[in-house]
């Protein structure tokens, strides 16, 4: 179908529901590649010869590649035509997925894991891209809808990978994803309108400006730290809860996958938060998200047995924690996208890289806390993360 040029200086139209759905689906399918390996590192390690002690580096390298992409590729969306940049990055992702599926040994698999992370940053090119094509009044709703797709991708990746692996093996996960991303690349390149930025910086200046933007934009720092704390708690939970389910409730891999699938219900908070933010409720909803995250861990601390009641409480906590994290993410992105039009790609890259560092920290702390203190220590740390964000939240009125 024909496309039209979308410049940053032209009048901002209303995005059609079809384009919003396409962007939401694309973000979910792309970002899921960061999480497929988390639940199948065991089978991958057995096939590639990677030791069980070193298997965690697969996820670490994927996340590291994502942060590299956030800092060095996403900012390019402020100087390079966005559709072309997204297409090129998706081709990198497709090639990395194909190589991963047929990697004969661990060294090659670990190397392409890094590039899977780099290529997956296309999701963070498409989210700010959507804001360029809509008005300020509808920005929260559009971001909420697109982010709900992204968050569904994050939450569905683990159970989908487990189910596919149990039937066809872990290689099928990467082959299936490569096919889906290839079809998606063709669809995006032929459907999305072009968006040509009007750059006034070269690439070197662009990268240097990341530090300047972080220094000059207090709301960016604040929202990034809020989300880093909540996403750290989220990663802490989902890193350790499979171990608790297996150890305390004797759940199989498929049982854990069904539990993770039930937790996907929390993604409904993203579009709701976007709509309420459009009504001026961003600050009060931010505080509510922190309290909900805190209480989610608190109730699991009170029910630490291996009873049915404890399992139900754990499932409720999974849903409410996901709601808090997904809702606050949309609130944060709505705030940061109002800070600068031509710098929106860089601002988003800074924001996402900081909060993904928080997530990586949560995963690392979770592995340690569960090994040395069980669920009791893990849940206490899970309470502390949103609590610290909540205390920082009370200083916001002084920095407006």
Domain parsing of the chain, residue ranges: 17-398
Between 77 and 278, the higher pLDDT residue: 77
Whether the pLDDT of residue 392 is over 90: the answer is yes
Which pLDDT value is given to residue 54?
59
**Considering the entire predicted model, what is its pTM?**
0.79
Topology classification of domain 17-398: Growth Hormone; Chain: A; (1.20.1250)
Across the range 234-250, mean pLDDT stands at 86
Q: pLDDT averaged over the chain?
A: 85
Whether the pLDDT of residue 356 is over 90: the answer is no
Whether the pLDDT of residue 2 is over 60: the answer is no
For residue 78, name the pLDDT band (cuts at 50, 70, 90).
confident
Whether the pLDDT of residue 363 is over 60: the answer is yes
Across the range 119-138, mean pLDDT stands at 84
DSSP H helices, the chain, are 17-31, 41-48, 57-72, 82-101, 106-119, 123-132, 139-168, 170-191, 203-216, 218-249, 253-262, 269-277, 282-302, 308-336, 344-393
For residue 341, name the pLDDT band (cuts at 50, 70, 90).
low
Between 288 and 200, the higher pLDDT residue: 288
Which pLDDT value is given to residue 30?
96
Whether the pLDDT of residue 6 is over 50: the answer is no
> Which of 152, 201, 227 shows the shortest CA–CA distance to 345?
201
Token pair recorded at residue 328: 């606050």
């Amino acid at each position: 179908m024909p496309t039209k040029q979308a410049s940053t200086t032209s009048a901002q139209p209303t995005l059609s529901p079809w384009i919003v759905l396409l962007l939401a689906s694309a973000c979910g399918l792309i970002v899921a590649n960061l999480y497929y390996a988390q639940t199948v590192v065991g089978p991958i390690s057995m096939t590639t010869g990677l030791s069980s002690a070193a298997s965690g580096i697969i996820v670490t390298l994927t996340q590291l590649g994502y942060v590299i992409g956030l800092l060095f590729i996403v900012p390019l969306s402020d100087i390079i035509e966005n559709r072309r940049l997204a297409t090129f990055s998706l081709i990198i992702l497709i090639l990395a997925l194909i190589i991963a599926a047929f990697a004969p040994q661990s060294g090659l698999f670990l190397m392409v894991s890094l590039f899977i992370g780099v290529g997956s940053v296309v999701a963070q090119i498409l989210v700010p891209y959507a804001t360029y094509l809509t008005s300020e009044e509808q920005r929260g709703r559009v971001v909420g809808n697109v982010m709900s797709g992204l968050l569904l991708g994050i939450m569905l990746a683990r159970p989908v990978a487990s189910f596919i692996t149990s039937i066809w093996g872990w290689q099928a996960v990467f082959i299936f994803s490569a096919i889906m991303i290839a079809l998606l690349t063709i669809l995006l390149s032929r459907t999305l309108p072009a968006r040509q930025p009007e750059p006034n910086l070269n690439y070197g200046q662009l990268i240097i400006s990341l530090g300047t933007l972080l220094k000059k934009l207090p709301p960016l720092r604040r929202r990034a730290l809020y989300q880093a704390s909540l996403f750290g708690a989220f990663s802490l939970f989902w890193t350790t809860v499979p171990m608790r389910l297996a150890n305390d409730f004797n759940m199989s891999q498929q049982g854990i996958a069904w539990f993770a699938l039930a937790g996907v219900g929390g993604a409904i908070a993203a579009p709701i938060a976007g709509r309420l933010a459009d009504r001026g409720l961003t600050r009060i909803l931010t505080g509510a998200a922190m309290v909900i995250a805190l209480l989610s861990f608190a109730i699991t601390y009170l029910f630490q047995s291996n009873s049915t009641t404890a399992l139900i409480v754990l499932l409720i906590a999974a849903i409410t924690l996901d709601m808090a994290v997904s809702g606050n993410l949309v609130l944060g992105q709505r705030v940061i996208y109002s800070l600068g039009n031509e710098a929106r790609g860089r601002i988003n890259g800074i924001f996402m890289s900081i909060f993904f560092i928080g997530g990586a920290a949560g995963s690392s702390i979770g592995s340690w806390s569960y090994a040395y203190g069980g669920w009791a220590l893990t849940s206490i740390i899970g309470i502390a993360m949103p609590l610290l964000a909540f205390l920082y939240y009370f200083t916001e009125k002084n920095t407006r």
